[in-house]
Amino acid sequence: VPAPSNGATGSGNLFPYGQCTYWADTRYHLLHGVYVPWMTNSNAWQWTMRANEYHWNVSSTPTVGAIINLQGWTQGAGGYGHVAIVEKILPNGHVTTSNMNWGGGANVTYIEFAPGPGVTFITH
């Protein structure tokens, strides 16, 4: 379990409803009681860079409740990348994530991803 960071936290979720960024921020807040502090320059592919700037923890190892960040064109993500929340770590090391706007629309879906190139895990 990563140590809590001294990183800044946000005061609310300003991401557009229905986007993966909205869901990741909402679900992370539900699980941990904090919002991400980055609201500008924050397309999904930018979340790892922004997390580093705000002194959040970035890892290549998944933990339950972490934000998974897929860079653009990684494991089916589009050019803007994708963020979701790790809900479960599977025996094969892959993760089950809760997602919004994976394949379009504001429905929450559960998708399996694998740690690897272009994939990071963000925690406060």
Q: How far apart (Å, rounded) are the C-alpha atoms in residues 74 and 78?
A: 8
Per-residue pLDDT, 1: 54
Phi, psi for residue 121 in degrees, rounded to 5? -125, 130
Tens of each residue's pLDDT in the chain, 124 residues: 555 677 899 999 999 999 999 999 999 999 999 999 999 999 999 999 999 999 999 999 999 999 999 999 999 999 999 999 999 999 999 999 999 999 888 999 999 999 999 999 999 9
CB atoms within 10 A of CB 55: 12
Angle at the Cα of 96 from the Cα atoms of 32 and 4, rounded to 5 degrees: 25
pLDDT tens readout for residues 64-76: 999 999 999 999 9
Dump strand ranges (E) for the chain.
57-59, 67-70, 82-89, 95-100, 108-113, 119-123
Q: Report pTM.
A: 0.95
